[in-house]
């Protein structure tokens, strides 16, 4: 099972989870009570409360964001960066084993 690591915004805490293939990175966090990912819309790219920053070494393993995700990233509570993604739109595959995502300071205004 692929391992995904969730880093606190200040990098002081990390949580590494086995997340089943086919599950979103958001669902893996919410199902395991990872503090910092809300996922208020349930994974439909409509609220941006699952915003994460993908660590640079993992970016090349991800598909480019679809238009809906790209637009929603403009509404995150913390600033959008070049490595910003909505974790609800990142489906875990075997290729994502070892992916590290950093959580923003907050998810809502």
Summarised one tens digit per residue, pLDDT across range 44-74 is 999 999 999 999 999 999 999 999 999 999 9
Q: Strands, E, within the chain: which ranges? A: 3-7, 14-18, 51-54, 84-86, 99-102
- In the prediction, which pLDDT does 109 show? 61
Give the residues of the chain that fall short of pLDDT 50.
none
3-state secondary structure of 7: strand
Nearest CA to 71 out of 46, 88, 52, 107 is that of 46
Nearest CA to 101 out of 65, 60, 58 is that of 58
Write down the pTM of the prediction.
0.95
Dihedral pair phi/psi, residue 25, rounded to 5°: -60, -35
CB 90 within 8 A of CB 23: no
- Most distant CA atoms of the chain, gap in Å: 35
- In the prediction, which pLDDT does 21 show? 98
Nearest CA to 87 out of 58, 60, 57, 49 is that of 49
């Amino acid at each position: 099972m692929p391992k995904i690591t969730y880093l606190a915004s200040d990098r002081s805490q990390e949580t590494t989870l086995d997340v089943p293939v086919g599950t979103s990175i958001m669902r893996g966090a919410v199902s395991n009570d990872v503090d910092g990912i809300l996922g208020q819309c349930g994974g439909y790219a409509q609220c941006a409360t699952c915003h994460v920053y993908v660590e640079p070494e993992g970016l090349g393993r991800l598909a480019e964001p679809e238009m809906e995700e790209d637009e929603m990233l403009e509404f995150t509570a913390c600033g959008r960066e070049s490595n910003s993604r909505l974790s609800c739109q990142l489906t875990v595959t075997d290729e994502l084993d070892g992916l590290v995502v950093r959580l923003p300071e907050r998810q809502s205004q």
